[in-house]
Structure 1
């Protein structure tokens, strides 16, 4: 049940018409740090206003992992901008319950910005507990797909993601070997035609003391 303060803040948001007004109203909602504000902040992500969405994103992240179930049910199939922001929130929270959503977004989403955000999220997931081995394998397989994505921004994120995961949670040897091989491919001019991706993969290999 929303509090009186949250109800008032939401009314101010509904009355806002300009970007500065929307930003101030969203900041006021975030300042309450009320988990009941999550649906409203998620709605704000769909306004297609980056300044307002950035504020709402930080507010959602501040609410913590308790809002993950709400986030997982909130993806807007018609609004790729809102999907990208939601994926960023889930990625920032590093909650392993987001694995399926991030994997699905990477496989099926048509928007490169969403696939890029999902790839970075996979790199940061806190994969611990009884399901960790299976989850870790699924995470690596998703990053392998990202390394072969048609969009260079996703491949760039995959280079970062593979470095991050290999340095944090090395998988069984076959997966580790495949991850290193894909980084090597991304670092080679004959296989990767975007220089910034090659440079990022080369940096990953250097940091991992490979190649």
Structure 2
């Protein structure tokens, strides 16, 4: 029996809340892909401490945990589902984009909306093919602007400000005219929030976000780490964006994925230069 098997067995055999917490923490610390199913299972236990440790471990494992987390979203156990969304938000994998868009704007749990809003700003944008990047970032921007305008909980608006700051930084060196417009829109919306939000904490964080954006280097470093997602993964992401917009809007507006219908076929049949597979 290997060391990782012993750690997994300790989680399975834990007979108290404290033992379970300690066992999950130890399993999470080794960051082994073999421990992913056990960590995901821990999300559904009635033990918030163990769930937090499992989420932390899954975030550190990163991309290999995403498929299992997405499968967890089909669970009827809402507690497990909410923790899975938190993990997806922390990982930032593009396959979690649609989930985070829905969670940030509509989940009834304040903590889930908060995690999703922050996660939308820190997606691995450098993984996206150029064909899909602009529409994905538009959706993230639209969702975050909705949150700071409509969410009643200050902690969620606070996280949306953090998300907008992160997203705005990615627009610091616009690669297209529209991204320059989006950057200005973020600063304008944050400036307005600075004088209208009822929460002193949100206003203070908004002021900090504006300072960070305005002092940003005009040439922020661009990440070039390639994505290991397949062309089919990107095809599915685009299809889900299309489905989301189809539900939200009756008419075709600027940025609607229906404008990108032909790209689904293109992305599916033509490997993108940034992809390894």
TM-score, with normalisation over the residues of structure 1? 0.85
The Cα shift of 1:46 comes to 1.9
RMSD: 2.3
**The one of 16, 20, 27 aligned to 1:18:** 16
Q: 1-side partners of 2:103 and 2:84: how far apart?
A: 11
Alpha carbons of structure 1 residues 124 and 8: separation in structure 2 relative to 1, 3 Å: same
Q: Which residue of 1 aligns with 2:180?
A: 173
Query: What is the alpha-carbon distance in structure 2 between the residues aligned to residue 180 and residue 164 of structure 1?
Result: 12
Distance 1:36 1:198, change over 3 A: same
Is 1:42 the equivalent of 2:49?
A: no
Change (3 A) 1:126 1:169: farther
Give the TM-score normalised by structure 2.
0.66
Cα 1:33–1:192 change in 2 (3 A) is closer
Partner of 1:187: 194
Unaligned runs of 5+ in 1: none
Judged with a 3 Å threshold, the aligned counterparts in structure 2 of structure 1 residues 43 and 186 are, in CA distance, closer, same or farther, namely same
Mapping for residues 107-186 of structure 1, pairs under 5 Å: 107-128=105-126, 129-130=128-129, 131-148=132-149, 149-170=151-172, 172-186=179-193
Residue 206 of structure 1 pairs with residue 211 of structure 2: yes
Please report how far the alpha carbon of residue 12 of structure 1 lies from its aligned counterpart in structure 2 after TM superposition: 2.9
Q: 1:159 & 1:28 partners in 2: Cα distance?
A: 34
Q: What is the Cα deviation at residue 178 of structure 1?
A: 2.4
C-alpha separation in 2, matches of 1:206 and 1:33: 36
Q: Describe the shift of the 1:64–1:151 C-alpha distance in structure 2 as closer, same or farther (beyond 3 A).
A: same
Task: Indicate conservation of the 8 Å contact 2:171/2:183, yes or no.
Answer: no
Q: Structure 1's 144 and 9: CA in aligned 2 closer, same or farther, altered over 3 A?
A: same
Deviations 1:105-138 (Å, cap 9, x if unpaired)? 1122100100000011011111133221111111
Q: Deviations over 1:113-169 (max 9, x none)?
A: 000000110111111332211111111111111212121111111111111111223
Q: 1:4 to 1:209 in 2, by over 3 A?
A: closer
State how far apart, in whole Å, the 2-side matches of 1:203 and 1:31 are.
Answer: 33
Would the aligned equivalents of 1:45 and 1:52 in 2 still touch at CA under 8 Å? yes
Residues 24 and 176 from structure 1, CA distance in 2 versus in 1: closer, same or farther, beyond 3 angstroms?
same
**SS of residue in 1 equivalent to 2:125:** coil
Cα distance in structure 2, aligned partners of 1:174 and 1:168: 13
After superposition, the Cα gap between the structure-2 partners of 1:7 and 1:208, relative to the gap in structure 1 and judged at 3 Å, is closer
